[in-house]
Amino acid sequence: MAGEFDLIRRYFNYPTSHTELGVGDDGALCVPRPGMQLVVSTDMLVAGTHFLPEADPGLLGWKAAAVNVSDMAAMGAEPRWITLAISLPAVDESWVAAFARGFRDCCEAYGVDWIGGDTTRGPLNLAPTVFGEVPAGRAIRRDGARHGDDVWISGWPGMAALGLAQVLGELQLVGAWGESCLERLHRPMPRVALGCALRGTASAMLDVSDGLLGDLAHILERSAVGAVLDEPALPLECLLAACRRTERATAALLSGGDDYELLFTAPRERRGQVEAIGRHCELPLHRIGRILDKPGLWLQRGDGVCEALPGRGYEHFRN
């Protein structure tokens, strides 16, 4: 059986492209480019909370890296380096090899150097830390939304939630859109190109990990504003095609997480710029509401009636 250092040497030691010193010493040596600010984020994945213990290790490796890379996209930053601390209940070399391949595949897809980490024995737990760069003063934060801004969402949020419902046996999805829901659950695609393109256009932004309503509430709280969502503008088409149930599709869109789409606000006068960015990134961008100057979150139905919405997503110590 391989020991800790054998595991690191065999599965966690890869060449780097823009790092002075990677795996093999007490620390890595990284040099940010001139004029850049360093952006740092950690997203932990715990067996039984964020993924099923029997999850495919290759897909899990991709996802562990992707959810962290997505945090860079959410700030308009370019991901550059990543570390991984991992605890394993036992050494299964075939599992470790598949996991490491998936993690590395995601890093290579987004130009990220894997520069180190730690391994230990314990419950299955994955704790990457990602480091990125953004031009000084250009990061897109959560606190910039202003009265009159449009609210936008990228892609098709809710797909991962439907995929999880099928995995748990709660729902049977249909057709190609159903297959896409499973793909989005297991292999999320961080919107790095979109996040970087929105610098100077978006006023506030984050990635949707705990549900659209709950994550929008973070922007509203940090920006001290409210919002109203336009029900007819909500992107439900693919969700309805996958599950054929309006209530379930709407719940997945508004409350489902794990999509890692970008939710952002932008001034009304920049609609043309946002639409052009969407075309350039070959990604649908949906204008789903607007920012208000009073606190609260509402849904405006097609008949003009407004109803209050809960502004709370998934919380680990409450749900």
CA–CA distance, 174 with 155 (Å, rounded to integer): 19
Ligand-binding site membership of 258 (annotated): yes
Beta strands in the chain (DSSP E): 36-42, 45-46, 78-88, 113-121, 125-135, 150-154, 204-207, 226-230, 262-266, 285-292, 296-300, 306-308
What tokens were used for 217? 């509430």
Ligand-binding site membership of 314 (annotated): yes
CA–CA distance, 86 with 74 (Å, rounded to integer): 24
Asked whether 205 and 262 are in contact (CB, 8 A), the reply is yes
* 22-29 own/partner pairs: CB under 8 Å, 24+ apart: 22/113, 22/114, 22/115, 22/116, 23/114, 23/115, 23/116, 27/116, 28/81, 28/83, 28/115, 28/116
Ligand-binding site membership of 209 (annotated): yes
| 68 phi, psi to nearest 5 deg | -80, -45
Ligand-binding site membership of 149 (annotated): no
Ligand-binding site membership of 87 (annotated): no
DSSP single-letter state for residue 293: S
Ligand-binding site membership of 27 (annotated): no
Ligand-binding site membership of 150 (annotated): no
CA–CA distance, 64 with 128 (Å, rounded to integer): 7
The amino acid present at 4, given as its one-letter code, is E
Quick check: helix, strand or coil at residue 202?
coil
Q: Give DSSP secondary structure letters for 86-138.
A: EEESS--HHHHHHHHHHHHHHHHHTT-EEEEEEEEESS-EEEEEEEEEEETT-
Ligand-binding site membership of 257 (annotated): no
Ligand-binding site membership of 118 (annotated): yes
Ligand-binding site membership of 71 (annotated): yes
Ligand-binding site membership of 50 (annotated): yes
Ligand-binding site membership of 26 (annotated): yes
Residues in the chain: 319
Ligand-binding site membership of 268 (annotated): no
Residue ranges at the known binding site: 26, 41-43, 50, 71, 117-118, 142, 207, 209-210, 258, 314
Residue ranges at the known binding site for substrate: 50, 258, 314
Residue ranges at the known binding site for Mg(2+): 26, 41-43, 71, 118, 207, 210
Residue ranges at the known binding site for ATP: 117-118, 142, 209
